[in-house]
Amino acid sequence: MAVTSKDVKKTEGLTWRRYKDGETEENYRRSQEKIFQAGWTHKCPEYVHSTPPCQGSCPAGEDIRGYLNIVRGIEKPTGGVSWQEYAFRRMTSANPFPAVMGRVCPAPCESGCNRNQVEENVGINSVEHFIGNWALANNMAFEKPAQESGKKVAIIGGGPAGLAAAYQLRRMGHGCTIFDDHAELGGMMRYGIPGFRTPREVLDGEIKRITDMGVETRMNCRVGTDVPMAQVEKEFDAILIALGAQGGRSLPVDGADAPNCVTAMAFLRAFNEGRLQHVGNKVVVIGGGDTSIDVATVARRLGKITNASTTDLPEMVLAGHAAHDVSSIAARMGVEVVLVSRATIDKMAANKHEVEQAKAEGIDIVGGVTPVAVVKGPDGRATALRVAEFEMVGSETKIKEGTERDISGDLIVSAIGQAVDFTGLEDFNNNKGLIRADKNYRFPNKPNVFVAGDVIRPHLLTTAIGHARICAEGIDAFLKGEEADRRPKVDVAHWDMVRKWVEAGHDYKEHHGQEWGTSEWKDTLHNYEDRAGRYVIPSTEMFLGHFVNVPRNQRGVTVLDKDSALGNFEDRLHALDDKQAVAEAKRCMSCGLCFECDNCVVYCPQTAVFKVKKKDGPTTGRYVDTDYGKCIGCHICADVCPTGYIVMGMGE
């Protein structure tokens, strides 16, 4: 007999059933009380997949837990490939530059790592570094698409965002052409980061993998000047603007127009192109982020020369004049470098180990002061940077009187921010020097134009790579004539249980609606819920007592001093070996996903929790299951689950 509206009170906005046909709300409440007062309960274990905080903190959205579980041996490779290649394939599903990012990424994933609550974070960056190096050494290539879509995408900018988008779009079968106004691809990875942090053979190798997928390039070609935007729109089905922010910001103080007062972007580009061979006796850098550290360490390595001609002055080189080979005319000598930051040294935005390395190399860091003016000499060149202590009154900087002082310098470098060059593309400027885009990174009122990278907001390389992944999915939907899906709350490259099921050679069926499943169904997942798209699991929902203190496997680092830094442009980071990489991956706590510790099986007093037989499906993510005929809802399995994967839910 159906329940009438008189029998049941309607709950406004209710979207699920709270009790069965024929049961009144009063009866429902009585049965609920009975459950919670009994010596056993109807709450039984469910297996809930959540996003780990490392991945939630990664702007590129890498499946970090996934590839660490592969390295440690939890998730077994399929198709006869090695664990190194299998980890590489998983890693590069989101980020095609593991060897570069394993070196230069400041690793926000490690700051988010729940292992920090035990002793120290997992060395995620160092495992990525190892896999990236292994892939280059073993000539790993990206597969070309099995089928071409016939659609063509123009990508304006060959930096991390443009290259990563080309990689993702080629995987989808779309044709890609990159337009770039430089001679070589790489953007900030090549022209903004010094080679001793991104060795050129490493960068070239990872870029070549992408272009070998069939990506076309038009180098030394700027859209908007060399070729009109209207022509590009006519020739291509969709356009991605990934210009990057390779322009620098000048100091907003009097005297900053001095010829030897330059931006960090101009300085680093001249160095990376091989034009800048030396600096003066003393360099003053203003900043506090990673770029300012790069400038300071480059200046320290370049040193100064004697008997230099006028054309060798840094500002002449930065203006485009070619300097002759200074190594042939004079011995290189040490140069004094001072880094000035508004933030105190402990609050600087730069990576902490980079700050310590800079100090070890003899770079003087002055924190807690702000630039007031650039002091000029009679010839109009800068001779010093005037700084002062300050305090913030609301959003206004108030100088403390009597604290002004001059820091002398032959070259003053401003590393206070980046800017986008919109020459020829002024219509896309949002009047704040950037481009506005929606959550799918589409340009407003132009459905065929998408945006990614620093042109949205200057940030990390890994952020640009994350934009590219999301952007590529939006472009793919547009080219197929589909509406882009609403982005998930936790927008990362999720580990996919169903993919793993099919990859292991098992059939999988999806069941929808009110159909009840049974334990006899071997072609679907039981008692499993995927919350990864909306939930990042905190350490408070894990059993941290399971994990013992295990020292981190640290990468070797070449630590230079004031003398040895001079002229040293070698890679400072030394990769882990395979045994160290495996040992470090084993420190991962696999937050939010089973890592096969057997605690639930061992401690279940009813022997209700059992291991799933391999013939019934892949073990990763469903290593155990529950016999609900035996389960009494004692919660022990959930209490001893180290990863928080077991959650007590209401059963029948």
Query: Each residue of 31-67: pLDDT tens digit?
Result: 445 444 445 556 788 899 999 999 999 999 999 999 9
Q: Please tell me the predicted confidence (pLDDT) of residue 91.
A: 97
- % of the chain residues with pLDDT over 90: 56
The domain spans of the chain are 53-140+547-585, 152-245+420-479, 248-418, 496-531+593-650
Q: Which two tokens stand for residue 541?
A: 């929902």
The CATH code of the domain at 152-245+420-479 is: 3.50.50.60
- Top pLDDT among 333 and 115 is at 115
CA distances from 183 to 157, 219, 414, 445, 626 (A): 12, 6, 25, 33, 60
Model confidence pLDDT, tens digit, residues 128-143: 999 999 999 999 999 9
Given a cut of 60, whether residue 374 has pLDDT beyond it is: yes
Instruction: Indicate the fold that domain 248-418 takes in CATH.
Output: FAD/NAD(P)-binding domain (3.50.50)
Q: How far apart are CA 299 and CA 292, in angstroms?
A: 11
Tokens 């080679």 correspond to: 195
Given a cut of 90, whether residue 627 has pLDDT beyond it is: no
- Total-model pTM: 0.84
pLDDT average, residue stretch 252-271: 89
Q: Which helix (H) or strand (E) holds 374?
A: strand 369-376
pLDDT average, residue stretch 635-651: 88
Q: Please tell me the predicted confidence (pLDDT) of residue 403.
A: 95
Model confidence pLDDT, tens digit, residues 536-576: 999 999 999 999 999 999 999 888 887 778 777 888 899 99
* pLDDT band per the 50, 70, 90 thresholds, residue 524: low
* pLDDT band per the 50, 70, 90 thresholds, residue 619: confident
Q: Please tell me the predicted confidence (pLDDT) of residue 511.
A: 57
* pLDDT band per the 50, 70, 90 thresholds, residue 617: low
Annotate 145-156 with b (16+ C-beta within 10 A) or e (fewer): beeebebbbbbb
- % of the chain residues with pLDDT over 70: 85
Q: How far apart are CA 625 and CA 518, in angstroms?
A: 13
* pLDDT band per the 50, 70, 90 thresholds, residue 520: low
Centroid of chain to Cα 597: 29
* pLDDT band per the 50, 70, 90 thresholds, residue 157: very high
Given a cut of 90, whether residue 167 has pLDDT beyond it is: yes
Q: Please tell me the predicted confidence (pLDDT) of residue 273.
A: 80
Model confidence pLDDT, tens digit, residues 499-511: 887 887 777 766 5
* Mean pLDDT score across all residues of the chain: 85
Cβ within 8 Å of residue 116, ≥6 positions away:
none
Would 152-245+420-479 and 496-531+593-650 be classified into the same CATH topology?
no
Instruction: Indicate the fold that domain 496-531+593-650 takes in CATH.
Output: Alpha-Beta Plaits (3.30.70)
Cβ within 8 Å of residue 652, ≥6 positions away:
42, 628
Q: Please tell me the predicted confidence (pLDDT) of residue 272.
A: 83
> Which range has highest mean pLDDT (127-141, 244-258, 264-278, 401-415)?
127-141
CA distances from 531 to 48, 52, 494, 574 (A): 7, 11, 10, 38
Q: Which helix (H) or strand (E) holds 83?
A: helix 83-91
Q: Please tell me the predicted confidence (pLDDT) of residue 523.
A: 63
- Out of 3.90.228, 3.40.50, 3.30.70, 1.10.1060, which CATH number does the structure's domain 53-140+547-585 have? 1.10.1060
The answer to whether residues 633 and 40 touch, using CB atoms and an 8 Å cutoff, is: yes
pLDDT average, residue stretch 269-296: 84
Q: Please tell me the predicted confidence (pLDDT) of residue 192.
A: 87
Q: Please tell me the predicted confidence (pLDDT) of residue 14.
A: 39
Q: Which of 106-110, 243-247, 540-544, 636-640 has the lowest average pLDDT?
A: 243-247
The answer to whether residues 157 and 241 touch, using CB atoms and an 8 Å cutoff, is: yes
Given a cut of 60, whether residue 312 has pLDDT beyond it is: no
Model confidence pLDDT, tens digit, residues 313-365: 555 444 433 222 222 223 446 778 999 999 999 999 888 888 888 898 889 99
Q: Please tell me the predicted confidence (pLDDT) of residue 620.
A: 85
- Top pLDDT among 602 and 440 is at 602
Model confidence pLDDT, tens digit, residues 217-242: 999 999 999 999 999 999 999 999 99
